[in-house]
Amino acid sequence: MGWRWPLILSVLAVVAGLYLSGTFSEPPTPPPLGDGWWGRGDREKAPKADESIRQFSVSINNDTINDLKARLRNTRHFEGLEGTKFHYGVRPEYMQTVVKYWLNKYDFKAQEKYFNKYNHYRTNIEGLDIHFVHVKPTLKPGQKSKPLLMSHGWPGSFYEFYKILPLLTDPVNNGGTAEDIFEVICPSIPGFGYSEASHKTGMGALAVARIFGKLMSRLGHNRYYVQGGDWGSAITTFMGLLLPEHVKGLHVNMVGNSNPPMAQMIIGSYFPSLFLPAEDHHKVWPAIPMFFDMLLESGYFHIQATKPDTIGHSLTDSPVGLAAYILEKFSTATNKTWRDLEDGGLNDGWQIDDLLNNIMVYWMNGNMASAMRFYKENVGLFVDDINKCQIKVPSGVADFPCELPNLPEKWTRYRYINLLQYNTMARGGHFAALEEPQLLAEDIRIFVRKVETLPK
């Protein structure tokens, strides 16, 4: 009798896991594409929108610089606790070094010039001025580039892509081949960067996917690739779901809007080999410590998914508060073990100008509150049946080891049913395009090559 009960429990565990994961039910039908209006007032009464594509330059004017420096000088610092590193968040002593650099060494005009290294544009879609960076490569006669939309998340911005752009648009001089050349479009999510914020409630990832699809159409692209991490992963995944006739291939570096099979997670804590190969066990088990680790790192999520405007007041008014809030994520989301370091790993792991440039995007536009609202508008997606809709366009995943969470390939295939590529990367975390541009660029190139060889 000794072997029978474990066998019976194992069979029941498998059946329960398959049932609860929806294996025995038909996947839901994707929702209609729809339309929207997010501008001020009623659509019928609004003046006709200017749908032209308008170029502009990023400006860090002297008034902005003087105001920021005055606020930095007047910061009220506080004392940290003895013996803590980044366990309570960003150490006050570390923030004092950031303020000192920001005031005395950060070259505002040099960074303004760097922001304008690539062309910036706006165009009005569904009542909002949508900002995007657009980099067209230099082509030889007869050569064609592949259009690629790249979408950022929070608390990132279009700036995340500045180091990967030359690798994709000038591949011959950056480790690729002439066939790897892309025309890259990096839009700012509405309410982020230089994109106008929605004036209505309900602006979620589905609506942004539709808006970005309209942007690509306005730029003259009927078939294109999409790539994203964080919220950008959700947005581009929805583009693949809603616009499969236009999305030629989907590549993500975070699988964040595909709910893991909870029954398998729980039962797998006792019988892991029933569900996943041994090399993937560490990505999800032991489940309880991982759950508490997620709880430790997700306090911001609860605030932003419930009352984002409350904290939005302080982050819009205080540059040090804004910087600390963002820097904490660039520490633990890059590598959670950096909590144990005096500087949160930020000094060695990042260039301070890159960190401050991303922060400046939020500060100059005063839109941290509207960016945080994106969580409240999307929180329902995590329990919505749309997450059970199958993504049928060719898909690829770059799984960076320090990403949180890491969804194993087997579970990723439950939703991305045409998964051509799933690569576990050598290193890197949440902000992959900025942290490990070479690794991400090469993974995108390999994926696109595979798609290009598929039967037409």
Helix, strand, or coil here: 68?
helix
Q: How far is CA 296 from CA 89, 372, 378, in A?
A: 11, 19, 21
Is residue 230 annotated as part of the catalytic site, yes or no?
yes
Is residue 224 annotated as part of the catalytic site, yes or no?
no
Is residue 129 annotated as part of the catalytic site, yes or no?
no
What is the Cα–Cα distance from 167 to 164, expressed in whole angstroms? 5
Structure tokens at 54: 């308008």
Helix, strand, or coil here: 45?
coil
Helix, strand, or coil here: 420?
strand
- Spatial strand order of the sheet with 54-56 comes to 54-56, 119-125, 128-135, 182-187, 146-151, 224-228, 247-252, 395-399, 419-424
Q: What phi and psi values does residue 131 have, to the nearest 5 degrees?
A: -90, 145
Q: Which of 120, 131, 221, 430 is catalytic?
A: 430
Q: Which of 106, 131, 230, 362 is catalytic?
A: 230
Q: Count the Cβ atoms, other than its own, within 10 Å of residue 41.
A: 12
Q: Count the Cβ atoms, other than its own, within 10 Å of residue 288.
A: 10
What is the Cα–Cα distance from 307 to 414, expressed in whole angstroms? 33
Q: How far is CA 330 from CA 20, 296, 324, 343, in A?
A: 35, 15, 10, 12
Q: Count the Cβ atoms, other than its own, within 10 Å of residue 174.
A: 16
Handedness of CA 338, 155, 312, 119 (dihedral sign): positive
What is the Cα–Cα distance from 158 to 116, expressed in whole angstroms? 12
Rg, the chain, Cα only: 23
Q: Count the Cβ atoms, other than its own, within 10 Å of residue 291.
A: 11
One DSSP character per residue, 109-133 reads HHHHHHHTTSEEEEEEETTEEEEEE
Q: How far is CA 413 from CA 242, 302, 320, 343, 396, in A?
A: 19, 29, 42, 38, 10
Q: Which of 194, 224, 225, 375 is catalytic?
A: 375
Annotated catalytic residues are: 230, 375, 430
